[in-house]
Structure 1
Amino acid sequence: MTVEDSPVAPADLAYCEDLLRELDRDAWLACLFAPAEHRAGLFALHAFNCEIVRVRDAVSAPLPGEVRLQWWRDLLDDAARGGASGNPVAAALIATIGRYALPRAALTALVDAHVHDLYDDLLPTVTDLEGYCGETASALFRLASLILADGGDAGPADLAGHAGVAQGIAGLLKNAARHAARGQIFVPADIVARHQGAQDDILNGRDSAAARAAFADVTALGRKHLAAALALLPSAPAAVAPAFLPLALIEPVLRRVARPGFNLFRDRAEPPQWRRQWHLWRFGRRLRSLKQ
């Protein structure tokens, strides 16, 4: 089956790919390394994620955001199936769920986890941060693996779990300044409490010793999960290996934020686009060599 033979309608597929290329270019590039017959499903999955992630920035208060997220819940519960035809991402997602028998519960849990984004409450503990990343980024890795496995062995679930936590932490480091500007912190409360004044400093964009120490703890957590994911990667079937290509972009972020004098509120935490593309290409070659 080619992309053209996908159950996703061509217009919906084009919309999803354009949306992903605009809002998450790294994910779009990673999808291009996957076999052509599965790209439509991957584009639909990641476009859906883009729609959920951007709800916070699209609304002025939590309640409208809750309404938008509820629409996606209803869609996944079949209550709003009739409305999917008017939304190309929803239509593509429904087609992809049917084609690959994706678990709707995992997609609903992803929507539920992003309710946290609408509010400014701290996640209480490191375990809660890991759980948030597990239901969001880890779920995407697992669902992408299921698409690529196409009914076969999708590999160890722990691989997706560790990969998602590492990616989620890299994301919160990259977006720390943007989160702080809107009054939000993704550093969990138990880490903040270890460093007196860190919460106020982070919210006010102050590059203090306390803020740096709190982010260093989060960075160390990301490194632990990245190491665990990379250790498990050789056990993944060759078919699903492209799902884990985004792992290539985590270490560069963790390394940059750990540099002496790095200021998360002023300095860019991720390499430039050309460099990220090079990391993806190099990691793709590494994955191919692992599976040969």
Structure 2
Amino acid sequence: MSSPSTQDHDYCLQLVRQLDNDRYLATLLAPEALRDLLWPLYAFDAEIARIRGLVTEVSLGEIRYQWWRDSIDAIYEGRAVEPHPVLIGLEPIIELGDLPKHAFVNLIEARRFDLYDDPMPTLNDLEGYLGETSSVLMQLAARVLVGEDSFALSDVTGAAGVAYGLARLMATLPAQCARGQCFVPLDLLEKCDLTPAHVMAGRRDQGLDVIMSQLRHHAQRRLAEARERVSEVPAMALPALWPASLVDLYLKRLARPGSDPFKKATEASQLRRQIRLTKMWLTESF
């Protein structure tokens, strides 16, 4: 096993800072020793999440997913891994936290959906997708931070991850539409006599407003479910959940009169996010 170098560490940190800024800001509030454990994990997720944007053909994306899948296999089988900064950083963390292989495999497999232009079939399917991506990342982070104590947090990280993942999907609709992706569930569209083409066109109408309201309320419910059990979360595990504290900011902006999430990405300023995260740090909440 290769020990991560300063360059490996910096690669992971900068990748998270660029591609997953919410988690970057949240992790800055964690103790320094814990930050170094989280950067490679979040960098792995960022690498998987950006594959769609790096390739011009589905087959090339499949090759990249398979490369990461094979690399995870190599780590768990004790074989030499490719000299990639994320893999070098991830290997000792997997061993330290006794992280389950299936979590990484399921995350990769769920992200394969990103390569294709198929619409998300149902809200339940979207929940499953977010569970295997956003929620599992929180679960793994909690496992790294508090070990076996994280087993009791699966419901909390599950609900918080869905809430955060859904809020981020709604906040970044224009980028998805530009890539030809539709994460708005087909079953919700059909109930309003709409199709994915209406989403791609980026034209607001009453039906899309109704659907966006339904999705916002769904995210709010999941966040409320997670927060009901905040007293069960060890303080050391909170950095894994802090990104969920930003859900309120995104949902408020999405619900503003005149807001058009299909035309312009819904973002919160770094200052507002830092203030919110600092409040969560001070109050030991999320």
Report the TM-score, using the length of structure 2 for normalisation.
Answer: 0.93
Matches within 5 A, 1:84-99: 84=82, 86-99=83-96
Question: Structure 2 unaligned runs (5+)?
Answer: none
Q: 1:66 and 1:153, CA in 2 relative to 1: closer, same or farther beyond 3 A?
A: closer
Amino acid at match of 2:124: T
The 8 Å contact of residues 74 and 80 in structure 1, kept in 2 or not, is answered as no
Deviation track 1:170-209 (CA, whole Å, cap 9, x = no partner) reads 1110111111112111011111111123532211111122
- Structure 1 residue corresponding to 2:71, chosen from 68, 75, 84: 75
Task: Name the counterpart of 1:3.
Answer: none
Task: Name the counterpart of 1:255.
Answer: 252
- Structure 2 residue corresponding to 1:40, chosen from 31, 36, 42: 36
CA-based RMSD:
1.9
User: Of the two structures, which has the highest relative contact order with CA contacts closer than 8 Å and spacing of 6 or more?
Assistant: 2
Report the TM-score, using the length of structure 1 for normalisation.
Answer: 0.91
Deviation track 1:66-103 (CA, whole Å, cap 9, x = no partner) reads 1101111111111794343x210111111211121111
State the alpha-carbon separation in 1 of the partners of residues 243 and 55 from structure 2. Answer: 29
Q: 1:258 and 1:101, CA in 2 relative to 1: closer, same or farther beyond 3 A?
A: same
Matched, 1:25 2:21: yes
Deviation at 1:155, TM superposition (A): 3.6
State the alpha-carbon separation in 2 of the partners of residues 81 and 15 from structure 1. Answer: 23
Q: Percent identity?
A: 37
Task: Name the counterpart of 1:106.
Answer: 103
Matches within 5 A, 1:144-163: 144-163=141-160
Bigger Cα displacement from structure 2, 34-43 vs 145-154: 145-154
The 8 Å contact of residues 12 and 43 in structure 2, kept in 1 or not, is answered as yes
State the alpha-carbon separation in 1 of the partners of residues 217 and 280 from structure 2. Answer: 22
State the alpha-carbon separation in 2 of the partners of residues 225 and 233 from structure 1. Answer: 13
**Counterpart secondary structure, 2:80:** helix
State the alpha-carbon separation in 1 of the partners of residues 78 and 207 from structure 2. Answer: 47
**Counterpart secondary structure, 1:276:** helix
Bigger Cα displacement from structure 2, 46-55 vs 214-223: 214-223
Deviation at 1:21, TM superposition (A): 1.3
Q: 1:188 and 1:156, CA in 2 relative to 1: closer, same or farther beyond 3 A?
A: same
Deviation at 1:108, TM superposition (A): 0.9
Question: Structure 1 unaligned runs (5+)?
Answer: 1-5
Bigger Cα displacement from structure 2, 215-224 vs 161-170: 215-224
Deviation at 1:38, TM superposition (A): 2.0
**Counterpart secondary structure, 1:183:** coil
